[in-house]
Amino acid sequence: MSHARTVEIEGHIIDSGTMQRCFGAVMDLGGSFDVERFDVGTHEEAESYCRMQVSADDEETLQAILHELHQNGAVLENPSDVELVAAPADKVVPPNFYSTTNHPTEVLYDGEWIDVERIEMDCALVVDPDPDEGNGPRAYTRVLDAVEEGDMVATDQSGIRVHPPERPRSGGGAFGFMQGGVSSERPSESTIREVAAALREVKADGGNVMVVAGPAVIHSGAGEALARLVEAGYVDALSAGNGFATHDLERSLYGTSLGMDVETLEHPRKGHKHHIWTISEIIRAGGIEAAVEQGKVTEGVMYQCVENDVDTVLAGSIRDDGPLPDTITDAVEAQNAIRDQAHDADVVLMLATLLHSVAVGNCLPSTTKTVCVDINPATVTQLLDRGSAQAIGMVTDIGTFVPTLAEFVLEDDGESHTTDGDV
């Protein structure tokens, strides 16, 4: 095997599975490895180090292997500066551009490793030599749509190193490390209790909780419980669609939930007229916030989001009725709004929506804690596969999950912080 290169890998690379994946990648792709040095961390806290030569019969295979090793955190021995090529046009990347992972990443520029900002996968990596005039170079991810002619785009992977998540040294609590699978055999209520504890902990630490919610949250009767969580301050950002908001507003506009329940249980045509009428009324009011201010909307998730200044993004889709004036109908614009929410989130609850959850998941760094809940196991699996290293997946009924979660999250609050005891 005449084509060879030497790489180094370090960290908790045995118990995080890094070495398994690296050795596996070499063998799967038909290459060969020769370990030159391997220092094994002798106890839990000690990191390991591996230097090995990787070889293949041809350069193309070798590059494919190096690509995999790179994505697992390996770095070429004696790396050189990142190679930058100017984008030939707006929204066009140069040949052999580097496509980002969702892991923390650094680039070697002018002999120094600098952190890449706004980590997100499947982006171009752009280095700006001195954006802040005199403060030196900065590096960012940039989605294709945002690439501008002349942007200095990283090509090849030399001079770039990524840091895949490592197994936390201590338990990690509810959020397992790269569980991958979906724990359908765990007791449901115990798992919800763990999620509740994690939420309380994140909020206690001043963290940001993002909720991604589909219309099934409302259909299933869980809207009231979600509204309580918003009211109690457990939701910093809401990412949803036109359908979610309309169903929620319809509950408020048509009065008592009793009235709604009766209708839902009885009406064959499912009150679609109410749906359209709700949108029409919100348009007439001038938007959701205006409708709240005018006293037209007095309860529900959207009401609480307005009242509690929750950062709310309603993204449009081709299946929407209306839409509401608050809905961002342009997909690129909506993505950018979601991206900003996602980058701020410390924990993300994905509740019964595949479309919005995928959109949010696409923007999340692999370090963000994520909880995916859906009745469809395929949805949960698909979301977990997209990449958070610290994720909980639950196949359960959103109509019982949210009320139970709200109960567990708020039960201590009820005793200690509030006086009305309404939970």
261 binds a second copy (CB under 8 A): yes
Taking alpha carbons only, the member of 50, 63, 54 closest to residue 5 is 54
290 binds a second copy (CB under 8 A): no
Out of 3, 51, 167, 200, the residue judged to bind a second copy by CB under 8 A: 167
Among the candidate windows 104-112, 125-133, 198-206, 400-408, which touches a second copy by CB under 8 A? 400-408
In whole angstroms, how close is the CB of 281 to a second copy at the nearest point?
8
3-state secondary structure 267-288: CCCCCHHHHHHHHHHHHHHCCH
146 binds a second copy (CB under 8 A): no
In whole angstroms, how close is the CB of 122 to a second copy at the nearest point?
5
396 binds a second copy (CB under 8 A): yes
Q: Are 55 and 32 in contact (CB under 8 A)?
A: yes
Phi then psi dihedrals of residue 14, to 5 deg: -90, -55
Q: What 3-state class would DSSP assign to 156? A: coil
Q: Name beta bridge partners: 390.
A: 177
In whole angstroms, how close is the CB of 344 to a second copy at the nearest point?
17
Residues 100-119 that bind a second copy (CB under 8 A): none
Q: Whole-angstrom Cα distance, residue 96 to residue 156?
A: 6
In whole angstroms, how close is the CB of 144 to a second copy at the nearest point?
5
348 binds a second copy (CB under 8 A): no
Among the candidate windows 10-18, 103-111, 129-137, 413-421, which touches a second copy by CB under 8 A? 10-18
10 binds a second copy (CB under 8 A): no
Q: Whole-angstrom Cα distance, residue 120 to residue 339?
A: 9
Torsion angle in degrees (nearest 10) through CA of 349, 352, 358, 364: 0
Q: Whole-angstrom Cα distance, residue 165 to residue 178?
A: 9
159 binds a second copy (CB under 8 A): no
Out of 126, 209, 338, 371, the residue judged to bind a second copy by CB under 8 A: 338
In whole angstroms, how close is the CB of 245 to a second copy at the nearest point?
14
In whole angstroms, how close is the CB of 415 to a second copy at the nearest point?
19
CB-CB neighbours of 68 under 10 Å: 19
